[in-house]
Structures are given as C-alpha cells and as structure tokens.
Amino acid sequence: MSARIAELLRRQTTTLALVVVAGVAVLAIQSGGEFLAPISVTTFFEFLAIPIVIGLAQMATLAVGQMNLAVGSIGGFAACLAGVLAADLGLPGWLAGLAAVLVGLVAGVLNGVIVVLTQINGFVVTLATMTILAGAQYALVGTRTITSASWAGLQSLGDLRPLGIPLIFWFAVVLAVALSAAYRHLLPAREMLASGGNPLAATLSGISNSRALITAHGLSGLLCGIAALLVMVSLPGVNKSIGGDWLLASFAAPIIGGVSLTGGSVAVLGTVLAATIVRLVDSARAAFQLDPSWVNLVIGAVVLGTVALDRFRSRAPRAAAPTTTGPVPRRPVVEGAAS
C-alpha cells in the first residue's frame, strides 16, 4: 500500500493537482472567500476553457516532435473570418461557427502538407503561417470589433451554466476526455505517437511518418478552430487581437503537464491541470495587483525549468544503461484523462 502511495506521489499529475489545490486555497484566503463565490467560480471556468483547448492543440503537434507557432493566428483568423461571414454576409451564427472550425482544420492540414513536401521543420513552417494569418486577420477586420450581436443565437450558448459551471468549460472537458480515449485506442492516434517516439521504428513497422505529421497538424488546426468557436460563444466580439496571447499559454499547458518536446508522448490530464495553474497565476496577478508582465515571466520561467528537468531526466538513464549496438525504439507514452 505504501509503495502504491509513493508511486502516486511521484506522478507529475499528482504534483500538478496539489499545486492547483494550494493555489485555490491561497486565493480563497487572500480574497476572504470571495474567490469561491459563484460569480468568481463561473468567471474562472469560463476563461479556462480556451487555454485548455489551445494547450491540447499544441500537445497534438508536440506528440510527433513538432511545434505549432500558428496556434493563435489560426484561431484568431478563424474567429474573425466567422465574424465577417455572420456580420457582413448574414450567415447564421451556427454556420459561421462551423466555418471557423473548418478553417482551423484546413489551416492545420496545410501546415502538415507543407512540412511533408518541403521537409522543413514545423517550427519554421508554422512561424511563416503565423505571420501570414496574422496579416490576413488584420486585413479582414482592420481596427473594428465585430460584436456578437451578429451571431446572438450561438453566443447565447455561453450563458448556459450546467451545475453552475459554464457550458464551454464542460465542452473543453469532454473534448479532453475524447482525446485521451483516442490516443489510447484509435489507430491513427497511436501511429502519431509511434512516429513521434521513433520515426525509423515506425517506418519499419509500416507506419507512414508523413501521414502522421499531416494528421497531427490537422488535429492541432481543428482544435484551434474549436477554440475560435469558443471565442464566438464566450466573448462579446472579435477583432484583430484575438489569439494574440495564445502562444505562450499553448506551450505552457502541455510542457508543464508532462509532454516531451522530443515527441512520442501525450499528457491530457497533465495539460488540463497545467492550464488550470496558468489560469490561477493570472487570477493571482489580479488579486495581488501585479504587473501583467510578471505573469509571462513566471510562466516562461516554469516552462524553461520544466524543459530543463525533462532533458535531465531523459539523459540520466542513458548514462547508466549498457552500450547497445543499435537504437532502442521508444515506447509511446499516453497519460490519459483518467490516469
């Protein structure tokens, strides 16, 4: 029994869960209990949904050893395009929201195709995509803000509060559970992990690394499109600033959550918990009246420390391992929503 408890305490998700509990306790004490008031809880979860989804979007590309720097630009462009379709062309709100999701999917697939065709690392490809889509987003809306009155029916979903928690948060949780199940049981998802863990071994096993890369980028883009849909549901309007602050949060959630930068692993529960911690840090900034730049400083330092620790842990066993005559295939690692 004691060994099982010790193993549980060593898990990163356990540590993250304890940090979440401690953070909530500190903010509750600091606010005299106001942080746990219904309106505060509702606001907290409402603004947690999008960080969870964009964290999962980044996790999808990290799983194959890639990065998606265009997370914010894809989501921002998709949201603004949907807003223009609804406001200027009179498209129904639900159809404009569906268009945002499809735009995200197409942008992600194009990223993957370009990576495969050019053999250029996804870091460079998505950096270019980020710049292009940021310009396109500004070209669409300029300096104006398109209000949610143009998609009032869709936006009304943001007012729903099942069990006192915003519907968009429940949607993000369901999405996380579905992704966890997919990475555990669906063949395409397992192939992405195998390709990210050891491309050579995956090729020898009959897995197409090209298909895995395109699928991973497509999934990432799809999730960015879903994040754009949540923006339309939860915010009073869209403008050129949508998605501008997503990039750091998208990396922080999966990396702090336990996803390796070298690929071959996912940590859905860890990503959700880490996104919650990032949201708690932002809440602490407001509660203690700190400069907003301190939030980025703290999150950036934690991400850097996590990456350094991950590298240290990955190198330590190799130093003690016996010399082998060839590469040892890495086993895909899946940390699901229930682990």
Return the SS3 of 334. strand
Look up tokens 């391992």; give the residue: 321
Q: Is the pTM of this model over 0.75?
A: yes
Where along the chain do its domains lie? 44-317
Instruction: Compute CA 226 distance to the chain's CA centroid, rounded to the nearest angstrom.
Output: 11
Per CATH, the number for 44-317 is 1.10.3470
Distance from C-alpha of 64 to C-alpha of 189, rounded to nearest angstrom: 10
Task: Give CA angle at 213 (208, 219), nearest 5°.
Answer: 125
Tokens representing residue 244 in the block = 């501008």
pLDDT score at 7: 57
pLDDT score at 141: 94
Distance from C-alpha of 263 to C-alpha of 200, rounded to nearest angstrom: 13
**pLDDT tens-digit profile, the chain (339 residues):** 555 555 554 578 888 999 999 999 999 999 999 999 999 999 999 999 999 999 999 999 999 999 999 999 999 999 999 999 999 999 999 999 999 999 999 999 999 999 999 999 999 999 999 999 999 999 999 999 999 998 988 888 888 999 889 999 999 999 999 999 999 999 999 999 999 999 999 999 999 999 999 999 999 999 999 999 999 999 999 999 999 999 999 999 999 999 988 899 999 999 999 999 999 998 888 888 877 777 778 788 888 887 777 777 666 654 444 444 444 445 566 665 444
Please report, for residues 105, 168, 244, the alpha-carbon distance to residue 100 in angstroms, rounded to integers and kept in the order given.
9, 16, 17
Distance from C-alpha of 337 to C-alpha of 339, rounded to nearest angstrom: 6
